Structure 1
Amino acid sequence: MELSYLFLYFVLILLILAGGICLFKLRHNHKSIGDQENLPPGSLGWPFIGETIEFLKAENFVYDRMKQHSPDIFKTKILGEETAVICGPNGNKFLFSNYDNIFTAFRPHSMQKLFRSYNNHAATPVNITRDAEVQVTRAPGFLKPEALVGYVGKMDSITQQQMRIYWEGKDEVKAFSLAKTLTLTLACNFFMGTEDPEHVARVNRSFYDITLGMHSIPANFPGTKFYKASKAAAAVRKELRAVIGEKKAAIASGEQTVDILSHMIVATDGSGKHMPEAEIADKIMGLLVAGYSTVATAMTFFVKYVGERPDIYHKVLAEQREIGASKKPGELLDWNDMQKMKYSWNVICEAMRLTPPLQGTFREALTDFTYAGYTIPKGWKVYWTVSTTNKNPKYFPDPEKFDPSRHDETNSFPAYTFVPFGGGPRMCPGKEYARLVILTFVHNLVKRFKWEMVLPKERIIGDMMPIPEKGLPIRLYHH
């Protein structure tokens, strides 16, 4: 068990042994929150920690409570916050439709501490919200399809280079590790305009610890996930400040730059002030994490599921070979090629249905609201999870079967039952970027290799983000 959990149990035992008035008051106050009129069913768990340990460790935390309390909504306390978990397609629709008037984005305290900046005049943390990062990418339209059209060839070129360096000539590789290296290389190029392998390598070494610590108890002492993540975040910030310095010098020399980092450097607020370097570094770190972890995870589970199904592999290969045959020697992929990869995208969607790259996200209630007959108080957090519908046989018959045909245009499933990128006005702004990155990877992988699983029964670990325990080792067979 992680040291932070042991520490929390130890503190709890001391409190119980101390007994008396202090603990009685803590329990009484905790109970009074849970007894407010018309709250959803559920439990707030222990004082202080609530049900955090179960949330982070129990594979079926949400499913079990849906069965126990309600399939629509239940209350809990996780990561230090009283939280309502809204479930099912109706819950998805409600959350997506009411973002601006009822909800705002919320990051758990662990993420707030990792993705924070300091102003220039005091050592006061400034929380870099997810909305602030999204605004950076939305405003100049970097992630819109029309802006991405011209980037497909660059994606293909970088992916081919990565395949030559890390995949070709190898008999066995760890797919998760190489997917992370590729996605981070692409993200560094797209967001920062850099391909410097030394920068990428130094950032890559730290990102895994950051992603593990994003949804953890923020206990900052040696041995905990959060402690490792804090050290890793500091190392990434240092590296990003160096990149920012290089980018500023390039801009000053008149070099033409069109990446998001350059936009952030030259942009000014209403008073003509530029964004502080520390804030730029933290926003870029958040964007890199968003363009790295979930994309690499989706790639990895494509490799896993297709490696287990030779019939599906051959269908993907046939589609990609047909696209390759239409290209001149050395010609890179383009936007039109991506639109032809319909079956490959169906396979990717089915992989995301069975193993969502991210289990869920948090919102904060801006006002009291009522849902499914229950009232959620202002300030409570709302947890949205993509997977409350993904394996429901009501929507996906034989839900454990890997069946890409579910996603054919001729088939359909009810609205709001498959939402890997969210929905509504706050749908993931990087959806199209992620689609292009993953399809480019698929094209280059299947054209070069066939593969099989080294560990067919490899365990999947992780809480919010699924991770193959041994990195998904695969045996490669070159075409």
Structure 2
Amino acid sequence: MDIFIPYLFLFLLLPFSLYLILFFHKEDSDDPKNLPPGTNGWPILGENVNLGLLGLSKFIRGRMEKYSPDVFRTSLLGEKVAVFCGAQGNKIIFTNDGKLVTPWLPLSLKKVLVPDLDDSSSYKEGFDVFNKFKYDTLKPEALRQYIPVMDAMARVHLRDDGWKPHFAVKVQPLINKYTFELSCRLFFNVTDPEKLQTLSGPFGPMRNGLMSLPIDLPWTAFGRGLKAGNIVRAEMTKIVEARREEMMRKGRGEDRDMLSKMLEVKDEEGKFISVKKIVNLFVGLLVASFDSTASATNAMVFYLAEYPHVYEEVLKEQMAIAKSKAPGENLTWEDVDKMKYSWNVAREVLRLVPTTPGTFKEAMTDISFAGFTIPKGMKTFWTPHSSHLNPEYFPEPEKFDPSRFEGSGPAPYTYVPFGGGARMCPGRVYAKLAILVLMHNLVTKFRFKKVIPHEKMVVEFSASPSHGLHLHLYPH
């Protein structure tokens, strides 16, 4: 009897195979002739498997070579997507927000992060609320006050949180812990270890579910992300409600963090913003600040360990700043402004391993680009991976060379680690300050050497060291 089992399996598989053939044939025949070249991949799965196997950078560059260097078609996260590439692709997206394209969130990101954001009007309302908030709290002038806090926290972190000299230290979890706790301190003044643990525990699964195939099963990244997102929002709701109650009893305090400022924002009708909207905003801020800052800082340390001559130049610059300070005196905005070479190093890091995958949008009308038509309603995607390693823009693109950013720097729309246009990442200054302040403290305290010489930076949706970045630490 067992001899018939393989044939039975093939017989059962036949209808599914026929379905796939018909699916692809129907899909191609229904598509307009002028769509960008590409493939929608497998039914339901799209090209998510290929993306997961290759990583975002190789996936993007491989399809640019195969289909078109300007725009190609794919299917990601359950949607057909036109990926705009290169400087001209970046430009058309950045300069036509609200004209040709409008913000759009993949279902997985929307359901995990802001599940009540169920239509375009509420999405626009959420952006309007955020815009009122960001200009007051994330502009450089407002962030100046946080530099001493960042500096003090970095010192305590390097002293108490596992940075042991003369030992092999796994750096990635230490940097991740610091950047998460820094965001919690500056955004809503949470410093209690128990509360931090309550937030950080489900935070990882929630992040993993954001850019996943939206299949709601308990064992999928999306299913786990939904559950974790509910926990994070419930904890954040407690924090926001407690702060609002405290402000009603005690009034406006002197030490006003970002949450305190947000609680004072009013909508067009003169009403205070609801707790739910504030929670959605701050969960989004927490994810964005953590991903960009942690990923960039891990990559910065990786490349400083990889290139000792670069480390020496950074050390020289940072030691000069350290020697200009009195013992125990905190860094200031003026000190960070002197970190010219260090910031060029960070910018080169962000070129090689961007911390953001890019942004999805939706075509508001038919878009003509590079000889192709992206129809109204189709989802679009821009990504820094389409231009950052292009030899046309960056000669010897694989070479680590901070001098690229001296003088006028790269041509417009070629270097886009924080996006561009009206919706350029509002947290870019925060990320810069957090990276440079920790770097100042780290290099002035330690020299370091990679334990795993051939460890690489891996770029999936964000960048991370392949083995967690093990370093030997040597005190000065």
Cα deviations by residue, 1:359-404 (Å, 9 ceiling, x for unpaired): 2221111111111121111111111110112122222222222111
> Aligned equivalents of 1:103 and 1:188: distance in 2?
33
In 2, the alpha carbon distance for the partners of 1:14 and 1:334 equals 69
The separation in 2 between residues aligned to 1:175 and 1:275, in whole angstroms, is 39
Correspondence for 1:160 among 129, 146, 155: 155
Q: Secondary structure at the match of 1:48?
A: coil
What secondary structure is seen at the aligned counterpart in 2 of 1:345? helix
In the alignment, the residues of structure 1 paired with residue 68 and residue 380 of structure 2 have an alpha-carbon distance, to the nearest angstrom, of: 15
Q: 272, 297, 300: which is aligned to 1:299? A: 297
1:81-105 CA-partner distances (Å, limit 9, x unpaired): 1111111111111111111211122
C-alpha spacing 1:457/1:168, structure 2 compared with 1 (3 Å): closer
Change (3 A) 1:71 1:14: farther
Q: Helix, strand or coil for the counterpart of 2:250?
A: coil
Verify: 1:475 aligned to 2:469, yes or no: no
Paired with 2:161 and 2:231, the residues of 1 have a C-alpha distance of 25
8 Å Cα contact 1:134-1:429 kept in structure 2: no
Which ranges of structure 2 fall in alignment gaps of 5 or more residues? 1-10
Describe the SS at the equivalent of 1:387.
helix
Distance 2:410 2:272 in 1: 48
Letter paired with 2:236: L
Q: 1:264 to 1:29 in 2, by over 3 A?
A: farther
For residues 47-446 of structure 1, the aligned pairs below 5 Å read: 47-59=43-55, 60-118=58-116, 129=123, 132=126, 135-136=129-130, 138-139=132-133, 140-170=135-165, 171-257=167-253, 258-409=256-407, 412-446=409-443
Q: 1:456 to 1:211 in 2, by over 3 A?
A: farther
User: Distance between the aligned counterparts of 1:215 and 1:238, measured in 2?
Assistant: 21
Give 1:18 deviation, angstroms.
4.8
- SS at 1:338 equivalent: helix
Contact 1:213 1:229 in 2 (8 A): yes
> 2 CA distance for matches of 1:206 and 1:133?
26
Give the alignment's TM-score, normalised by structure 1. 0.89
Report if aligned partners of 1:389, 1:417 keep a CA contact under 8 Å in 2.
yes
Cα drift, residue 329 of structure 1: 1.6
Normalised TM-score (structure 2): 0.89
Is residue 137–residue 260 contact of structure 1 (8 Å, CA) maintained in 2?
no
Please report the RMSD computed on the Cα atoms of aligned residues, expressed in angstroms. 2.5
Say if 1:167 and 1:19 are closer, same or farther in 2 by CA, change over 3 A. closer
Report the residue type matching 1:478 in the other structure: P
Partners of 2:212 and 2:222 within 8 A in 1: yes
The 8 Å contact of residues 20 and 43 in structure 2, kept in 1 or not, is answered as no
- Name the aligned partner's letter for residue 235 of structure 1: I
* Aligned residues with identical type, % of pairs: 39
Q: Kindly tell me the number of residue pairs found equivalent between the two proteins.
A: 460
State the alpha-carbon separation in 2 of the partners of residues 27 and 319 from structure 1.
58
User: Cα gap change, 1:134/1:187 in structure 2, threshold over 3 Å: closer, same or farther?
Assistant: farther
Deviation of 1:459 after TM superposition, in Å, equals 4.7
Structure 1's 282 and 128: CA in aligned 2 closer, same or farther, altered over 3 A?
farther
After superposition, what is the alpha-carbon deviation per residue over 1:336-375, rounded to whole angstroms, capped at 9, x for unaligned?
A: 1111000000111111111111222211111111111211
Shift in Å, 1:270: 3.6
Alpha-carbon contact 1:191-1:261 (below 8 Å) kept: yes
Q: Any conservation in 2 of the 1:133–1:283 contact (CA below 8 Å)?
A: no
The 1:49–1:377 alpha-carbon spacing in structure 2 relative to 1, beyond 3 Å, is same
- How far apart are residue 293 of structure 1 and its match? 1.1
Deviation by residue 1:135-179 (Cα, 9 ceiling, x = unmatched): 425545211111112221111112222222214445232221111
